[in-house]
C-alpha cells in the first residue's frame, strides 16, 4: 500500500508542538477510524481535532493512572473526575429577537443613540417626532454559526476529586533547566526575581509573574498533593499550586501570583488543567502562534491573563471559593464560555474570532456582512458614467503612489495621497482629522436649509438645522482608474487586514473588539458596515421594535449634508448594523482619547451622500488593547428625549458627568 503523505504532514505539524510520531500515531489512527477516513475533518483548522484528541487521550491516560494509584492507596474510594471541557462545534445560536429591539434602551424605555457631537444629531435622535411608522420591517435574521460553546469551564476540584486548599493564592509553572542556572537569566516584561516566605508565597504582591527560589520550593513540595497538567506536574500546597516536571537537569519555577484577584468577590481559583487547555486552544487554534514566531514573553503574559479569566466566574460569592462544595455551586451558576473561530463566516480575508470568557453577556445576534447593503429605498448612485474623467485616473497603471506626480484621485486630499507607501494614513492628514474631531471650530460646521434630521422629527415644521461637521474625505482609486488592485491608494476597499478579536469587555460595555497584534499609527482597521437605510426607514425600525437590547448600532452618514439646499429622504442615509453588520459594530465608545478615528472614504460614489466610514488608529496600539472610537455623544444634552447609555469608557476625559458623579460617590463610600 502506498504511504499516504497526509500522515507525514500530520506528524510534522504535531512535531512542531513537541509531540512525537509515536505519541500521535494511536490517536490519529483512532480518529481516522472514527471519521471513516475523512482527513479533512482531522486537518481542518490546523489539525485542531487531532490536537484536541491528543490532549484528551493524554488526559484520560493521566486520569487512569491516578485512578489506579488512588485505588491502591485508599481502597478505590475516590470521587469520579468530572468532565473538564465540553466543546460543541457548530452549535447554533439562540434565535434572534425582534431586530429592532437593539435600537431601544432597555432600562429607560427610550431610544439610546450613538450621537456624534460633530454631527450633532445622531440617527436615533432623529426619530422622536410624531411621524407614524410607514413600512414594516422584514429584515431576515441569520444567526452566527461556528459556535463553540465551552461549558463547564469552571473552577473545579483537582482531577483526583480533592479541592484546592483554603487561601490558595498562586500557581507555579516548573520547567526543566540546566543545573546551576536555576535563577531566571532573562529579563522579560512582567517577570521578576523574588524570594518567597515560608508558605511558599511570593513576597511580590503586584500581581505579576515572578520567579521563585528553588530551595524554598523544594521544602514546600514535600507535603504536596499532585495533580497532573498536560506534561507537567502540578501541586497544591499551603495556598500554592505548583505545576512542573522534574528532571535530572533541575527545575526553574515561574510564580503566578493572584493575590489581588482573590480580593475580588467573583474570583475563585481556576482549574489549572483548564487554564492549560485554554492556552493550547488559543495558541493552536485561535492565534495560530505556534511556529517560529512564538513569543515566550507574550505566552507567559497570556498564561496570567488566562488564569485570571478562568478565575472570574459569575456567582462566586466568596474569595475562599476553593472548597469542593463551593466550586460545585459555582459550577451550576457559571454561564458558558463562548468561542467562535470566525464570526465573518469566511467573508473577510482574515478570520475574526470571538471569545467570551465569563459568559455574562449573550452572544451577539446579527448576520455578518463584509460590505454595506441597501435595505430598501436608499439611493446610492454607483455608475461609471457619473465618474468624470477628472474624478478618476484612467491613464495610471500599477501603483499610483509610485508615480512621480499624484494622480487625479489625490485632488480630494489637496493634491497629496492620504496614504503612505506603507499603507498607513499620512501623519499630517491624520493630525488634521483628529484636530477637527477633538477641537471643532465654528467654521467646521455647515447648516442645511432643510435638515433631513429635523424633517424626520417634524416633517411640516422642522426645527432649524443644528449643524453638521464638514469632514475631510479620503478618495480611493476605483474601477474606472487605470491602476491595479494593489495600488497604494486602495486601502479600505481591500478590506480588513489586521488580526482582530471580539471579546467581552467586562466593563459594562458588552462586547468590544481588540487587536491581536501591534498596530502602527495610521493603520486601517475596519469599516463600519451595516444596512444602508434612509432616515425614515430607520425611524420605522425604531417604532416597530420592542424595548429589549441596550446596545444600539445606527450611524448617520451626514458628512456632506450641509453642501446642498435640501436632501430627499432617499438621499439622507444612515447605516444600521443592528441586524446586519461587520466587526465595526463591536467598537465601543471612549471619550476623547479613543485609539481609533472614523474618516469618510469616497470609493465608488462621487456625490458623498453615500460613503464608507473607515476606522484608522490615531496612535500606536498594542496587541490586546481594546479598539475604541469616540462616538461624540453629547451626554449633557438633558433636554434631548433620547437617553444615551451611561458611559463606562474609563477615560479621565469622560464627558459623562453622571458616570463621573457615580464614581465619585462610590469612591467616597469606599474611603
Ligand atoms: C456599536 S455598539 C458597540 C458593541 C456593543 N458593546 C455590543 O456588545 O454589541 C454600541 C453600544 O455599546 C455600548 N457601549 C459602547 N461604548 C460604551 C461605553 N463607553 N460605556 C457603556 N456602554 C457602551 C452601548 O450599549 C452602545 O449602545
Instruction: Render pLDDT for 540-554 as a digit per residue (tens, 0 to 9).
Output: 887 777 655 678 889
Average of pLDDT values for 127-147? 29
Other Cβ atoms less than 10 A from the Cβ of 178: the count is 10
Q: What is the pLDDT of residue 295?
A: 67
pLDDT band at 8 (very low <50, low <70, confident <90, very high): confident
Q: Mean pLDDT highest for which of 19-33, 101-115, 347-361, 589-603?
A: 589-603
In Å, what is the CA distance from 383 to each residue of 181, 339, 386, 408? 70, 41, 6, 18
Q: What DSSP designation does 364 have?
A: P
252 inside domain: yes
pLDDT band at 152 (very low <50, low <70, confident <90, very high): very low
> Residue 277: helix, strand or coil by DSSP?
helix
Compute the radius of gyration of the chain from its Cα atoms: 28
pLDDT of 191 above 60: no
37 inside domain: yes
pLDDT band at 234 (very low <50, low <70, confident <90, very high): very low
Same domain for 311 and 208: yes
Residue 590 Cα to ligand 1 middle (Å)? 10
Same domain for 349 and 322: no
507 inside domain: yes
Closest ligand 1 atom, CA of 553?
A: 1
pLDDT of 385 above 70: yes
Higher-confidence residue of 656 and 534: namely 534
Q: What is the pLDDT of residue 84?
A: 23
pLDDT of 148 above 60: no
Q: What is the pLDDT of residue 659?
A: 59
Q: What is the pLDDT of residue 583?
A: 98
666 inside domain: no
Q: Of 300, 335, 370, at which residue does a domain stop?
A: 335
Q: What is the pLDDT of residue 314?
A: 32
- Taking only the tens place, the pLDDT of each residue in 116-125 is 333 322 333 3
Q: What is the pLDDT of residue 444?
A: 86
Same domain for 585 and 454: yes
Q: What is the pLDDT of residue 294?
A: 62
pLDDT of 194 above 60: no
Q: What is the pLDDT of residue 648?
A: 93
- Taking only the tens place, the pLDDT of each residue in 447-456 is 888 888 888 7
Same domain for 373 and 262: no
Ligand 1 lined by 143 (C-beta under 6 Å): no
Residue 107 Cα to ligand 1 middle (Å)? 14
Ligand 1 lined by 647 (C-beta under 6 Å): yes
Q: What is the pLDDT of residue 655?
A: 85
Where b means 16+ CB within 10 Å and e means fewer, 217-233 reads beebbeebeebbbbebb
Same domain for 188 and 135: no
Cα–Cα distance between 494 and 515 in angstroms, integer?
Answer: 18
pLDDT of 524 above 80: yes
Same domain for 493 and 536: yes
DSSP state letters, 485-534? TT-TT-SGGG---S-EEEEE--SSS-EEEEESS-B-TT-EEEE--EEEEE
User: Atom 7, ligand 1: which residue's CA is nearest?
Assistant: 511
Average of pLDDT values for 91-98? 31
pLDDT band at 249 (very low <50, low <70, confident <90, very high): confident
> Cα-Cα-Cα-Cα dihedral of 223, 229, 233, 237, to 10°?
-20
Average of pLDDT values for 32-58? 83
Residue 176 Cα to ligand 1 middle (Å)? 46
Residue 563, judged by CB atoms within 10 A of its CB (0-12, 13-18, 19+), counts as middle
pLDDT of 182 above 60: no
Q: What DSSP designation does 386 have?
A: G
In Å, what is the CA distance from 570 to each residue of 177, 535, 537, 610? 70, 8, 9, 11
pLDDT of 574 above 90: yes
**Lowest mean pLDDT, pick from 144-148, 310-314, 365-369, 555-559:** 144-148
Q: What is the pLDDT of residue 243?
A: 61
pLDDT of 218 above 60: no
CB 52 within 8 A of CB 44: no
In Å, what is the CA distance from 15 to each residue of 9, 10, 21, 25, 207? 10, 8, 7, 12, 34
Residue 354 backbone phi and psi in degrees, to 5: -130, 135
665 inside domain: no
pLDDT band at 69 (very low <50, low <70, confident <90, very high): low
pLDDT of 130 above 50: no
Same domain for 296 and 416: no
Q: What is the pLDDT of residue 493?
A: 98
> Residue 10: helix, strand or coil by DSSP?
helix
Q: What is the pLDDT of residue 410?
A: 97
Q: What is the pLDDT of residue 146?
A: 31
Percentage of residues in the chain having pLDDT higher than 70: 57
Could you tell me the sign of the dihedral formed by the alpha carbons of 450, 454, 458, 463, in that order? negative
Q: What is the pLDDT of residue 396?
A: 97
pLDDT band at 399 (very low <50, low <70, confident <90, very high): very high
Other Cβ atoms less than 10 A from the Cβ of 61: the count is 11
The total number of residues written for the chain in this structure: 671
Q: Which residues contact 229 (CB under 8 A, 6 or more apart)?
A: 243, 272, 273, 276
Cα–Cα distance between 450 and 248 in angstroms, integer?
Answer: 83
Same domain for 391 and 371: yes
Cα–Cα distance between 536 and 595 in angstroms, integer?
Answer: 33
87 inside domain: no
Other Cβ atoms less than 10 A from the Cβ of 498: the count is 18
Give the residue among 555, 558, 579, 569 at the shortest CA–CA distance from 629: 555
Ligand 1 lined by 503 (C-beta under 6 Å): no
Residue 221 Cα to ligand 1 middle (Å)? 47
Q: What is the pLDDT of residue 446?
A: 87
Q: What is the pLDDT of residue 460?
A: 86
pLDDT of 264 above 70: no
Q: Which residues contact 325 (CB under 8 A, 6 or more apart)?
A: none
Percentage of residues in the chain having pLDDT higher than 90: 31
**Lowest mean pLDDT, pick from 106-115, 187-196, 389-398:** 187-196
Domain of 118: which CATH number? 2.170.270.10
Q: What is the pLDDT of residue 63?
A: 67
CB 539 within 8 A of CB 126: yes
Whether this prediction's pTM lies above 0.80 is answered by no
pLDDT of 104 above 60: no
Ligand 1 lined by 117 (C-beta under 6 Å): no
Other Cβ atoms less than 10 A from the Cβ of 576: the count is 27
Q: Mean pLDDT highest for which of 244-248, 448-452, 458-462, 486-490?
A: 486-490
Give the residue among 88, 90, 87 at the shortest CA–CA distance from 143: 90
Q: What is the pLDDT of residue 165?
A: 31
Domain of 24: which CATH number? 1.10.8
Same domain for 263 and 310: yes
CB 348 within 8 A of CB 496: yes
Give the residue among 542, 526, 624 at the shortest CA–CA distance from 582: 526
Same domain for 639 and 518: yes
Closest ligand 1 atom, CA of 590?
A: 19
Among 93, 584, 589, 663, the mutation site with the greatest number of ligand 1 atoms within 8 A of its Cβ is: 589
84 inside domain: no
Higher-confidence residue of 315 and 665: namely 665
Q: What DSSP designation does 254 have?
A: E
Average of pLDDT values for 188-201? 29
pLDDT band at 261 (very low <50, low <70, confident <90, very high): low
> Residue 22: helix, strand or coil by DSSP?
helix
Stretch (H or E) spanning 650: none
Tell me the residue range of the domain where 123 lies: 99-146+345-645
Closest ligand 1 atom, CA of 587?
A: 3
Closest ligand 1 atom, CA of 112?
A: 27
Cα–Cα distance between 528 and 597 in angstroms, integer?
Answer: 12
Q: Which long-range contacts (CB under 8 A, 24 or more apart) does 651-655 make?
A: 651/590, 651/591, 651/592, 651/593, 652/593, 653/591, 653/592, 653/593, 654/591, 654/592, 655/591, 655/592
pLDDT of 573 above 80: yes
**Secondary structure of 560-601 as H, E, C letters:** CHHHCCECCHHHCEEEEEEEEECHHHHCEECCCCCCEEEEEE
Give how many domains the chain has, as a whole number.
Answer: 3
Q: Of 78, 107, 125, at which residue does a domain stop?
A: 78
Residue 507 Cα to ligand 1 middle (Å)? 10
Where b means 16+ CB within 10 Å and e means fewer, 4-16 reads eeebeebbebbee
Cα–Cα distance between 595 and 614 in angstroms, integer?
Answer: 13
Give the residue among 97, 104, 105 at the shortest CA–CA distance from 538: 104
Ligand 1 lined by 631 (C-beta under 6 Å): no
> Residue 615: helix, strand or coil by DSSP?
strand
Residue 552 Cα to ligand 1 middle (Å)? 7
Cα–Cα distance between 32 and 50 in angstroms, integer?
Answer: 10
Residue 536 Cα to ligand 1 middle (Å)? 24
Where b means 16+ CB within 10 Å and e means fewer, 145-174 reads ebbbbbbbbbbbbbbbbebbbeebbbbbbb
Higher-confidence residue of 457 and 564: namely 457
pLDDT band at 53 (very low <50, low <70, confident <90, very high): confident
Average of pLDDT values for 622-650? 82
Q: What is the pLDDT of residue 106?
A: 28
Higher-confidence residue of 636 and 167: namely 636
Same domain for 357 and 314: no
Same domain for 274 and 219: yes
Closest ligand 1 atom, CA of 510?
A: 8
650 inside domain: no
Ligand 1 lined by 648 (C-beta under 6 Å): yes
Cα–Cα distance between 529 and 601 in angstroms, integer?
Answer: 13
Average of pLDDT values for 82-90? 26
Q: Mean pLDDT highest for which of 103-107, 466-470, 485-489?
A: 485-489
Among 582, 588, 658, the mutation site with the greatest number of ligand 1 atoms within 8 A of its Cβ is: 588
pLDDT band at 516 (very low <50, low <70, confident <90, very high): very high
Instruction: Please state, rounded to an integer, the average pLDDT across all residues of the chain.
Output: 69
Stretch (H or E) spanning 39: helix 39-74
pLDDT band at 21 (very low <50, low <70, confident <90, very high): confident
Global ipTM:
1.00
Higher-confidence residue of 162 and 616: namely 616
Amino acid at each position: 500500500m502506498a504511504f499516504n503523505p497526509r500522515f507525514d504532514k500530520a506528524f510534522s505539524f504535531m512535531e512542531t508542538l513537541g509531540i512525537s510520531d509515536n505519541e500521535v500515531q494511536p490517536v490519529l489512527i483512532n480518529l481516522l477510524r472514527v471519521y471513516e477516513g475523512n482527513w479533512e475533518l482531522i486537518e481542518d483548522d490546523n489539525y485542531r481535532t487531532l490536537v484536541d484528541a491528543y490532549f484528551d487521550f493524554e488526559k484520560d491516560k493521566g486520569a487512569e493512572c491516578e485512578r489506579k494509584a488512588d485505588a491502591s492507596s485508599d481502597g478505590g474510594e475516590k470521587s469520579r473526575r468530572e468532565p473538564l471541557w465540553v466543546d460543541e462545534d457548530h452549535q447554533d445560536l439562540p434565535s434572534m429577537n425582534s431586530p429592532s429591539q437593539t435600537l431601544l434602551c432597555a432600562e429607560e424605555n427610550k431610544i439610546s443613540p450613538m450621537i456624534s457631537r460633530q454631527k450633532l444629531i445622531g440617527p436615533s435622535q432623529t426619530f422622536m417626532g410624531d411621524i407614524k411608522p410607514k413600512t414594516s420591517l422584514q429584515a431576515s435574521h441569520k444567526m452566527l454559526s461556528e459556535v463553540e460553546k465551552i461549558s463547564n469551564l469552571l473552577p473545579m476540584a483537582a482531577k483526583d476529586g480533592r479541592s484546592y486548599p483554603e487561601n490558595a493564592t498562586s500557581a507555579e509553572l516548573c520547567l526543566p533547566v540546566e543545573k546551576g542556572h536555576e535563577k531566571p537569566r532573562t529579563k522579560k516584561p512582567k517577570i521578576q526575581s523574588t524570594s518567597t516566605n515560608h508558605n511558599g508565597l511570593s513576597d511580590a504582591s503586584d500581581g505579576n509573574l515572578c520567579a521563585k527560589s528553588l530551595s524554598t520550593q523544594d521544602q514546600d513540595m514535600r507535603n504536596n498533593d499532585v495533580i497532573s497538567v498536560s506534561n507537567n506536574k502540578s501541586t497544591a500546597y499551603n495556598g500554592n499550586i505548583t505545576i512542573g516536571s522534574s528532571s535530572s537537569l533541575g527545575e526553574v519555577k515561574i510564580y503566578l501570583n493572584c493575590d489581588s484577584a482573590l480580593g475580588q468577590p467573583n474570583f475563585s481559583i481556576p482549574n489549572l488543567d483548564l487554564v492549560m487547555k485554554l492556552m493550547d486552544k488559543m495558541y493552536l487554534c485561535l492565534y495560530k502562534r505556534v511556529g517560529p514566531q512564538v513569543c515566550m514573553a507574550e505566552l507567559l503574559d497570556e498564561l496570567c491573563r488566562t488564569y485570571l479569566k478562568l478565575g472570574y466566574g459569575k456567582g462566586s460569592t466568596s474569595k475562599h471559593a476553593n472548597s469542593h462544595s463551593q466550586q460545585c455551586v459555582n459550577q451550576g451558576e457559571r454561564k458558558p464560555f463562548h468561542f467562535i473561530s470566525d464570526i465573518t463566516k469566511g467573508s473577510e480575508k482574515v478570520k475574526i474570532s470571538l471569545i467570551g470568557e465569563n459568559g455574562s453577556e449573550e452572544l451577539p445576534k446579527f448576520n455578518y456582512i463584509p460590505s454595506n447593503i441597501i435595505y430598501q429605498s436608499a439611493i446610492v448612485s454607483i455608475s461609471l458614467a457619473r465618474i468624470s474623467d477628472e474624478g478618476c485616473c484612467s491613464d495610471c497603471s500599477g501603483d499610483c503612489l509610485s508615480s512621480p506626480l499624484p494622480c487625479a484621485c489625490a485632488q480630494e486630499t489637496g493634491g497629496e495621497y492620504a496614504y503612505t507607501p506603507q499603507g498607513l494614513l499620512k501623519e499630517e492628514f491624520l493630525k488634521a482629522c483628529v484636530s477637527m474631531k477633538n477641537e471643532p471650530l465654528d467654521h467646521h460646521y455647515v447648516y442645511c436649509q432643510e435638515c433631513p434630521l429635523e424633517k424626520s422629527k417634524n416633517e411640516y415644521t422642522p426645527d432649524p438645522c443644528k449643524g453638521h461637521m464638514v469632514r475631510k474625505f479620503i478618495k480611493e482609486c476605483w474601477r474606472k482608474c487605470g491602476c491595479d488592485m494593489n495600488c497604494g491608494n486602495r486601502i479600505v476597499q481591500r478590506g480588513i487586514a489586521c488580526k482582530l478579536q471580539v471579546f467581552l469587555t467586562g466593563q459594562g460595555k458588552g462586547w468590544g473588539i481588540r487587536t491581536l497584534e501591534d498596530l502602527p499609527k495610521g493603520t486601517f482597521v475596519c469599516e463600519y458596515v451595516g444596512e444602508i437605510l434612509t432616515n425614515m426607514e430607520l425611524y420605522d425600525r425604531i417604532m416597530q421594535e420592542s424595548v429589549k437590547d441596550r446596545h444600539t448600532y445606527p450611524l448617520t452618514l451626514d458628512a456632506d449634508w450641509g453642501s446642498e439646499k435640501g436632501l430627499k429622504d432617499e438621499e439622507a442615509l444612515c447605516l444600521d448594523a443592528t441586524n446586519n453588520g461587520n466587526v465595526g459594530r463591536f467598537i465601543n465608545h471612549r471619550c476623547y482619547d479613543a485609539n481609533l478615528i472614523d474618516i469618510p472614504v469616497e470609493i465608488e460614489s462621487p456625490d458623498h451622500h453615500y460613503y464608507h466610514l473607515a476606522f484608522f488608529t490615531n496612535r500606536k496600539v498594542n496587541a490586546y488593547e481594546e479598539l475604541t472610537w469616540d462616538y461624540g455623544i453629547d451626554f449633557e444634552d438633558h433636554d434631548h428625549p433620547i437617553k444615551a447609555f451611561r458611559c463606562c469608557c474609563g477615560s479621565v476625559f469622560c464627558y459623562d458627568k453622571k458616570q463621573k458623579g457615580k464614581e465619585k460617590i462610590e469612591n467616597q463610600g469606599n474611603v
